[in-house]
Amino acid sequence: MTTRAALGSLGGSARQPVIGPRGVGMLTGCPIGSLGIAVMVRSYALFGPESPVILRKLRGEPYIGGTGNTRIHGGRLSARRSAASLAVVHGVLLLLWLAAFLVSSLLEYAPHASLWFPPAAVTFSALLVLGARALPVLWTACLLATLITDRIYGQGLSLPALAMSGVVFALTHTFAYGAIALPLRRLAWEASPMTTLRKVTLVLVGGAVAAGLSSLLGGWGLALTGMVPRDDVPGLLAPWWIGDYAGLITLGPLVSVGLVHLCGQHGMGVPSGVKYFSKSHRTRALGSRSVMKLAALVLVSAGILLGAAQFREQEAILFLLFISIILQLWIVHTESELCALTGIALFSALIVVATNLLQLGGEALMLQFVLISLAANSYLGLAVPSLYNDNDRLRHLLTHDVLTHALSRAFFEDRVRHGIDIARQREQPAVLIMIDLNGLKQINDRRGHAAGDAALTLLAKTCQRHLQAGEVLGRLSGDEFAIFLPETSSPRAEALIATIKADLAANPDPVGASFGLAELAAREESYEQLLHRADQAMYHYKR
């Protein structure tokens, strides 16, 4: 998006290099500034913490009463304390939005043209994290942005024109991003906080739709207010769309992490699924190794941009930015998610600053493509570990018993057969131990199946606690287990059985078990034959 689109006017003088007190000062001393503050204050009646609009029965924020307490994270906070917390979050959000707006204005590579529009990221993230509670401050920010833009370009628009432009911008901007962010927020109540491929896809696609809707509604608003001739609107749509989307996906997730953290500090609940980058599979700290990798990303990217500024064939030199994408993916797969998000933000800021300072505006479209590609590939890369986790979980379900976490019968048999082949090739001993939990039926009948499950779990954990590397425990049936001990003879197996029995007896809720062992014979012997001998020894022990 461009600054002129926010204001709703294509006219005016060239941008001033520095914004002085005239540009940002005395906001409350002018009618449009006072209007913005009034909108924010008055909106608390509709969207404040005691409003029925907000205190509806949503998970984590149930409605207790018209003037009662709001329950957040299972606790009960007074309505006054909740209002103060919301005011703090709103204040930070307002400053963040306006700062992002000023940055986009200062870093224009040409009058009314910037590679990105960071307020789009703040708006989308605020609606995703806070929901409708963010609307008052976003409306206020849009009204104040209209005033700031008029001061920057010295257009001297009339108060009615400023008011109309500000209101149209506020409504179209928040509606466009709210139409996508608010439905995603409802879905997020049931979503996992982990970074998943589905979640990343929804954010990438939803952000593109929201940015496109923002450009369409914004163009309609400009034509409606008469600030731009209708014939000029189509030429604004593509740059507006790309700029909004570039700002959204390069900064949106990092802004969301900050807002989630801020809400947590002030006791404000957010949907679990909104925390899509705040739960990491790796440590979140930015250590010295992370800083070195981020520095390499920035230095390499800066070198390529400086090189492009020195030659006429800028496009060919800028193509080398694919090296930056490779470095960023290296960060994604080796460092924390916070480090990856920081890398995206640093790279995007560097690109925007360099475009402004090094006069690379002629390659703006290519640089925007690089920005979006690096961010999208990074987020998809962050979703890979969740796929690995899903595969690991499915593999564990296939190879392990759900209750006791011993090996499943099929997987245990494969491991034992492989172990028998190795023992026979190396002429090493091996032992198979059969185990039967005594009285499982009586435990289930007298104390319930939960007690029976607890007895099975205790037996399995006790056995596993005394096994060494390479020794495996499997559950063969309801109350039967087996242990395979490679490179082990009968004396060591008998000592292991004695240790397990003593450990079971010493438990506060002791259970009994029967054992039988069979050592692999020198002659050719199959797994079934070895299991049969161990089973016979166990039943002989029980008699």
Inter-axis angle of helices 322-334 and 288-310, to 10 degrees?
A: 170
So what's the pLDDT on residue 351?
92
- Answer whether residue 52 is part of any domain: no
Structure tokens at 227: 């600030």
Q: Domain check: are 220 and 285 in the same one?
A: yes
Considering just the CA atoms, what is the radius of gyration of the chain in Å?
33
Amino acid at 229: P
Q: Domain check: are 360 and 423 in the same one?
A: no
Q: Are 279 and 332 in contact (CB under 8 A)?
A: no
Amino acid at 186: R
Q: Domain check: are 386 and 489 in the same one?
A: no
Residue 264, classified by CB atoms within 10 Å of its CB into exposed (0-12), middle (13-18) or buried (19+), is middle
- Answer whether residue 63 is part of any domain: no
Q: Are 113 and 104 in contact (CB under 8 A)?
A: no
Q: Domain check: are 532 and 418 in the same one?
A: yes
Q: Is 275 helix (H, G, I), strand (E, B) or coil?
A: coil
Q: Are 85 and 95 in contact (CB under 8 A)?
A: no
Q: CA neighbours within 13 Å on the CB side: how many for 170?
A: 25
Q: Domain check: are 385 and 449 in the same one?
A: no
Q: Are 408 and 463 in contact (CB under 8 A)?
A: no
Q: Domain check: are 159 and 227 in the same one?
A: yes
- Last-in-domain residue among 394, 425, 442: 394
Distance CA 479, CA 529 (A): 21
* Tally of domains in the chain: 2
Q: Domain check: are 146 and 279 in the same one?
A: yes
Distance CA 285, CA 274 (A): 21
Q: Domain check: are 222 and 352 in the same one?
A: yes
- Answer whether residue 459 is part of any domain: yes
- Answer whether residue 71 is part of any domain: no
Distance CA 105, CA 145 (A): 10
Q: Which residue has the tokens 């002018």?
A: 30
pLDDT tens sequence for the chain (543 residues): 444 344 333 333 233 333 332 233 334 345 544 555 454 444 444 444 444 444 443 334 443 344 444 444 444 445 667 788 888 999 999 999 999 998 888 777 655 567 889 999 999 999 999 999 999 999 999 999 888 877 776 666 778 878 888 899 999 999 999 999 998 888 877 766 667 778 888 889 999 999 999 989 988 887 777 666 788 888 888 888 998 999 999 999 899 989 988 988 888 888 877 765 544 444 455 788 999 999 999 999 999 999 999 887 888 899 999 999 999 999 998 888 889 999 999 999 999 888 888 888 888 888 999 999 999 999 988 887 766 666 777 888 888 998 999 999 999 999 999 999 998 888 889 999 999 998 888 888 888 999 999 999 999 999 999 999 889 999 998 889 999 999 888 999 999 999 999 998 888 888 889 999 999 886 678 889 899 999 999 888 775
Structure tokens at 358: 């090094």
Q: Are 42 and 35 in contact (CB under 8 A)?
A: no
So what's the pLDDT on residue 17?
30
- Last-in-domain residue among 371, 394, 417: 394
pTM: 0.63
- Answer whether residue 218 is part of any domain: yes
Q: Are 152 and 3 in contact (CB under 8 A)?
A: yes
Structure tokens at 225: 């207010």
Q: Which residue has the tokens 């204040």?
A: 91
Q: Are 177 and 132 in contact (CB under 8 A)?
A: no
Distance CA 440, CA 452 (A): 6
Amino acid at 275: K
State the CB neighbour count (10 A cutoff) for residue 84: 14
- DSSP-assigned beta bridge partners for residue 514: 436
Q: Domain check: are 280 and 143 in the same one?
A: yes
Distance CA 412, CA 475 (A): 8
- Answer whether residue 54 is part of any domain: no
So what's the pLDDT on residue 297?
96
Distance CA 239, CA 215 (A): 9
Structure tokens at 305: 């941009």
Task: Provide the CATH number for the domain around residue 442.
Answer: 3.30.70.270
- Answer whether residue 229 is part of any domain: yes
Q: Are 361 and 113 in contact (CB under 8 A)?
A: yes
Q: Are 256 and 129 in contact (CB under 8 A)?
A: yes
Q: Domain check: are 462 and 334 in the same one?
A: no
- Last-in-domain residue among 328, 362, 394: 394
Q: Are 359 and 103 in contact (CB under 8 A)?
A: no
Q: Domain check: are 206 and 274 in the same one?
A: yes
Q: Domain check: are 260 and 390 in the same one?
A: yes
- Answer whether residue 181 is part of any domain: yes
Distance CA 14, CA 16 (A): 6
Range of the domain at 185: 80-394
